[in-house]
Amino acid sequence: MKKITRRQALGATAGALTALGLTAAAAGATSAAATPAEPTTPGTVDEVYQGRRIQITPGGGGHHGGHHSPGQPTVRIDGRELHIMRNADGTWISVINHYETFAEPKLLARAAVRDLQGAALVPFGGAA
């Protein structure tokens, strides 16, 4: 299935986003129940933080839609991908925190959970 990028998702209609969101939320819940937390590869994170599931897959795989550099980890919150970007000094920013840098993706993901205050990410290239 053709993945959509977050930029494209932002351009979609509210109705389409809602439809995608419901599907993605259901898929996320299913995988959360089925997958035990067993970090094996270095850089892999699978944790529940403030009630939200954070999953980080090291670079090379994951749900990349060609929107960022190869080798970049994939960060998901409750099954939805969080768009992250790397800075010149190796720090990270996310679409939730565009004006603050983080030393590692896990810290960025936790900050995003704190700022989301329970809200669901708009899906892009993810479970849908």
Partner 1 sequence: MHTRQNQKNLTSAQKKRFTAAVLELKRSGAYDALVRTHDKYFVPDRDRKLRVGHMSPSFFPWHRRYLLEFERQLQEIDAGVSVPYWDWTTDSSPASSLWADDFLGGTGRTGDRKVMTGPFAYDKGNWTVTVGITESAFLTRNLGRPQNPITLPTAAELQWAIDDPTYDVAPWDSTATAGGFRNKLEGWAAPKSERWRNHNKVHQWIGGHMTGGTAPNDPAFWLHHAFVDLIWDRWQQKHPGSGYLPAAPLAVGDLQRGRVIARDEPMPPWNITPREMSDHRSLYRYE
Q: Does 51 bind partner 1 (CB under 8 A)?
A: no
- Distances in Å between the Cα of 99 and the Cα atoms of 87, 92, 93 are 12, 10, 7
DSSP-assigned letters across all residues of 38-96: ---STT-EEEEETTEEEEEE-TTSSS--SSS-TT--EEEETTEEEPEEE-TTS-EEESS
Q: Does 95 bind partner 1 (CB under 8 A)?
A: yes
What is the nearest approach in angstroms of partner 1 to the Cβ of residue 48?
19
Figure out which of the listed residues 85, 104, 107, 127 binds partner 1, where binding follows CB under 8 A.
85
Helix (H) or strand (E) holding 29: helix 14-34
CB-wise, 2 or 98, nearer to partner 1? 98
Q: By CB under 8 A, what part of segment 5-24 binds partner 1?
A: 6-7, 10-11, 14, 17-18, 21
* Cβ neighbours of residue 41 closer than 8 Å, sequence gap 6 or more: 58
The tokens of 99 are what? 């004006």
CB-wise, 33 or 88, nearer to partner 1? 88
Q: Does 128 bind partner 1 (CB under 8 A)?
A: no
Contact footprint for partner 1 (CB under 8 A): 6-7, 10-11, 14, 17-18, 21, 68-69, 83, 85-89, 93, 95-101, 115-122
